[in-house]
Structure 1
Amino acid sequence: MATTAVVAGTAAHMGARSAQRSAEADQAQAAPPAAAPADEPAAPEAAESPQIEELKQLAALKDQGILTEEEFSAKKAQILGL
């Protein structure tokens, strides 16, 4: 008799657990996927654009006195398409 109670109890527990997993799966399928914000800033470790890299190099040359302010401004306008 005790064995029958254990088997019945185990079956009931497993049935309840299966129903719970099914409900969780149904809920997961019904929920819409979370959308990332469109205007989220890029991660700091993300690669910078080639234009930014070139501007940084030009700024370094200007700071070292290799480029004049006028040369730097002209090349910056060319890179940015201004």
Structure 2
Amino acid sequence: MDPGTSRYANVFLLDLEAAQVLARFSLVHGPYETAFSADGQWARVDDIVLRQRDGERATVTVAAAEHSETCPSIGVQPAHTD
């Protein structure tokens, strides 16, 4: 990149079974956080919420109501690297 050019990341929402790209967009300095709704309908990348079946962006109302699925800690200690 040329000096002064902002770093960015390309984000893709994929349908692996159909081998299709459902959505593609760029983010400046990220992505930092990704989450999926527990019902499997929505994917969130930073502040962008997408419908998983077709990649359409959610309305502000849907995005505000989106509840992320959380995963419990597996309780494993990190390996020593000495």
TM range (shorter): under 0.3
Whichever of the two has the greater Rg, that structure is 1
Normalized per residue, the structure richer in helix is 1
